[in-house]
Amino acid sequence: MPSGGHGGRVRNTVSRVFNHILVVCTGNICRSPMAEALLRARLGRRVRQVASAGTGALVGFPADPLAVEVAAEHGLDLSAHRARQVALPLLSSADLILTLDQSHSDWLNRHYPQLRGRVHKLLRWCGNADVQDPYQRPRAAFVQAFTDIEAGVEDWLQRL
């Protein structure tokens, strides 16, 4: 069997299927920007685009300062991030939509039923738990959210 074999072809096919990954949380200033940056860093060129948005976004706001700080400790730069609202064109272009908690999945499936099958929780492979929202909570909540996000990203990377 040639180098890379059948397994390499399967991985390449799967990567092409997921050209655009969208991460969704509520305000798009804490969890989803951290997840977006981490996915982008870990996936590199395996996908064309990684983006994030919120179901109730604080449109135009930068990432929360504690999210910026925690992400920076892991080599991720959120300084250019600006929150944006989930919208059909953004959703329609996504091959995979990763939500940070069940309420986001429910909201997307209720408002955009045509997306069923593309909407999955980030922690689907980690007991299907929610990443708790650290907004307006102590720094430790942001650290825990990042830890949970990192676990979810690592599990998804094994499947992409």
The catalytic site residues sit at 25, 31, 133
Residues in the chain: 160
Measured CA distances, 151 to 13, 85, 144 (Å): 24, 25, 11
Q: What is the dihedral of CA 49, 76, 44, 39, to 10 degrees?
A: -60
What are the Cα distances from residue 10, in Å, to 50, 120, 125, 156? 21, 21, 20, 16
Contacts of 48 (CB under 8 A, 6+ apart): 19, 20
The amino acid at 37: A
